[in-house]
Chains A and B, each alone.
Chain A
C-alpha cells in the first residue's frame, strides 16, 4: 500500500540506503525509499549464461556511461585518470561488487592526530564497532578471527577457500615475513537467512545468482520490505526541497513514466554515494541555498577520494585453478597499511589477492600485451596461462584534496534532463609514491611465491568504485557538511549516510564502514525520536 505522508524519505536503495531502511523499519516510522533502478533478477545474471564474460563489456559493464541503461545517469569522468564505476538498482553497487569487506583500522579515524594529515573523524573505531558487528550479522560475512592487523573481530562464517593459489601466494608472504590473512568477504560460506552458500561460481562481480554474495537486495531489503518500508523503483530524484525559510519539505522526483512528483517527508536521508549525493545537493538550489543544499561550508562536491588501484599479476608454472572461486576474495595483506615515513609517503595500502581471470579476459589481455600469440602457438600459450595467474589489487589510501571535485556538467544531462556530474580528479604525489611502492612490493611477493612472469601497472582506469569525501562529516560547520551523526549542519532533518561523508578514505574497500556508519546514524535518529 502506498504511504502518502512518510516520516522518512530515503533516497537510494544501495549499500547504505538499505541498511538505513532496515534499521528504521524496526520502529513505527513510516518510510518510503526512492530508487532510480529496479529489482535485479538473479536468474538473468551473466554467470547463468555461457557468454558470461562477454556481458561485462555491455549491460554489466562497471561504467554507467557504457551500460547506458535507463536506470543509469551519465558521468563525465574525462578529466580523471580513474573512471567512475557504479551500479544503479535495488542493491546499488553491491550488485556488482566483489564482496571484499574489510573494516577500517582504528588509526584511519585519527590521521590528523597520528600522521598530521587531513582531519580526524568526529568518531572513532570503537564508536562504530557495535555497528560493524551488527552489519556483519545482517549482511553475512566470512573470515577468520585472530588477525593481528585488527582489533578482535568475531562471529564470522568460515573463510572463503584459499585454494591452491592462496596457499602458493601465502607461502610467498611467509617467505618475506609479511602479514597476510584470508579475506573478509561479504559472501556466506554456509546457508544463512534463506540464502544459499557460496559454491565458487566465480564471477561475483557480475551478480551472484546463488544469493551467496551479500548484496543488499538479498540481505537488508527483504526484511525492510516485510517490516513495511515502501520501496518505489525506477524513481529518480531531481532535488531535495526546502520552504522559504530553509526548512526541509521533501523531494521532487520522476517516476517510471517520467512524471514529476513531489514527496513530502519530515526526515530525508540521502544515500546516493560520493558522486550521486553531491550531484543531488548541487542540483537542489533555492533562495536559501543558492549554491546547493547543505552547502554553506562550500564543501559539497569537494575532497573527492577514489582509492587509486594498482594491479600486479604473476603467472606460475603449476596449474592453480586460479580462475575458480570468488573472484575478488582470497586473501589480503596489510603489511604496508600503517604509516612508516621511511617509505617516502604517509599512510598506506592493502594488497588484495584476486583470483585469476577467465578465458576471455585471459586471452584478451594476453593477446593485447603480446604475451599470447595468435596462430599455431595460441592454444599452447593459453594453456600455459589460464588457471595459472594470480592477481593482486593494491588499494591505496587517497587523502582529501579540495581540487578533486564533483560538480555539475554544464552540457550533459540524464534522460530526465537533470545535469550530470562532472569529475575533476588528480592523483596526489603521496598517492603516486604509495602506488609505486605497492606495485614494487606486489612484484616482490609474486616473485617470492615463484611467479615465472610478473607484471604490474597502475592506476587502473576502470576501478573508481570507492566514491568518498564529497560531503564530509565533522564538528566544525565551517569545515564540514554534516555532523557526527550525519545530519546537515544547515538543514535540520536532512541526513547523509553514504561514503560521501567519509573524512578520509582508509586503505580498504569502504562498504563495511559506510554501512556501519549508516546504522550508527540511524541508531541516533531512533534515540533522538525516542523510538
Chain B
C-alpha cells in the first residue's frame, strides 16, 4: 500500500521544495524524504502523520511561497511540527551529511581528527597563584 496519495505527494513535494530547495547540486531538495521512508522508525512514522495532517489542511493544488506563508500562518503548530521532522530526516541522510562539512559520517569507522590545540596558551593561567580555598 502506498504511504501517500498522489494528491498528498504533489502537495508535499511542493512544500518540501520550498522549505529546503536544492542547493549547488550537492544538497538535494528535501522532497527526497518522501521516497525514503521506513515505517518501522518512529520518527518516520511521525513524519507521515504530520504530513497527512498538514496536507488535509491545505486546499490549494499549486503551492507558491505566498501560499506557503499563508499555510504556516493558519496552521502554525502543525507546520512547526512538520518542519522539525523534515529537518531531522533531511540532516540524517547520508548524501546530505557527506556534502556538509560534518567530518566522518556514522558509523564513524575512522573517527574524526581534532587538533590537539596549543597548550602554551595556558602559560599565563599556569603562572597564576592558586585560586582555590583550602
Candidates A146, A201, A209, A334; contact of B131 at CB < 8 Å: A334
Q: What chain A residues lie within 8 Å of B41 (beta carbons)?
A: 51
Of chain B, the residue at the smallest CB distance from A359 is B91
Q: What chain A residues lie within 8 Å of B102 (beta carbons)?
A: 323, 358-359, 386-387
Candidates A57, A114, A180; contact of B133 at CB < 8 Å: A114
User: Complex: how many Å from CA A200 to CA B110?
Assistant: 9
A289 at the interface (CB under 8 A from B): no
Are B88's CB and A360's CB within 8 A? Answer: yes
Q: What chain B residues lie within 8 Å of A49 (beta carbons)?
A: 106-107
Are B101's CB and A338's CB within 8 A? Answer: no
Separation in Å of the A242 CB from the closest CB of chain B? 42
User: A180-B125, A201-B111, A374-B83 given as contacts; is B117 within 8 A of A54 (CB)?
Assistant: no
User: Complex: how many Å from CA A324 to CA B83?
Assistant: 26
Candidates B107, B122, B131; contact of A338 at CB < 8 Å: B131
Are B27's CB and A148's CB within 8 A? Answer: no
Separation in Å of the B23 CB from the closest CB of chain A? 4
A378 at the interface (CB under 8 A from B): yes
Candidates B90, B100, B106, B125; contact of A48 at CB < 8 Å: B106
Separation in Å of the B24 CB from the closest CB of chain A? 8
User: Complex: how many Å from CA A166 to CA B106?
Assistant: 24
Which A137-171 residues have C-beta < 8 A from chain B?
144, 146, 148-151, 159, 161-164, 166-167, 170-171
Are B87's CB and A363's CB within 8 A? Answer: yes
Q: What chain A residues lie within 8 Å of B129 (beta carbons)?
A: 148
Of chain B, the residue at the smallest CB distance from A200 is B112
Which A343-363 residues have C-beta < 8 A from chain B?
358-360, 363
B113-134 contact mask (Cβ, 8 Å, vs A): 1 or 0: 1111111011011101111111
Which A188-203 residues have C-beta < 8 A from chain B?
198-202
Q: What chain B residues lie within 8 Å of A323 (beta carbons)?
A: 102-103
A: interface residue count bin: 35 or more
Which of B24, B41, B65, B125 has its CB near the most chain A CB atoms (within 10 A)?
Answer: B125
User: Complex: how many Å from CA A323 to CA B125?
Assistant: 26
Candidates A180, A202, A337; contact of B132 at CB < 8 Å: A337
User: Complex: how many Å from CA A174 to CA B107?
Assistant: 37
User: Complex: how many Å from CA A50 to CA B101?
Assistant: 15
Which A422-474 residues have C-beta < 8 A from chain B?
none
Are A57's CB and B134's CB within 8 A? Answer: no
Chain B interface residues (CB < 8 Å from chain A): 18-21, 23-24, 27, 41-43, 65, 83-84, 87-94, 96-97, 100-108, 110-119, 121-122, 124-126, 128-134
Chain A interface residues (CB < 8 Å from chain B): 47-54, 57-58, 105-107, 114, 144, 146, 148-151, 159, 161-164, 166-167, 170-171, 173-174, 177, 179-182, 198-202, 209-210, 319, 321, 323-325, 334-335, 337-338, 358-360, 363-364, 367, 374-376, 378-380, 382-383, 386-387
A-B pairs with beta carbons under 8 Å apart, 17 shown: A47-B107, A48-B107, A51-B41, A149-B130, A162-B117, A164-B115, A167-B118, A173-B125, A200-B111, A201-B112, A321-B101, A323-B102, A324-B113, A325-B114, A334-B132, A359-B91, A378-B19
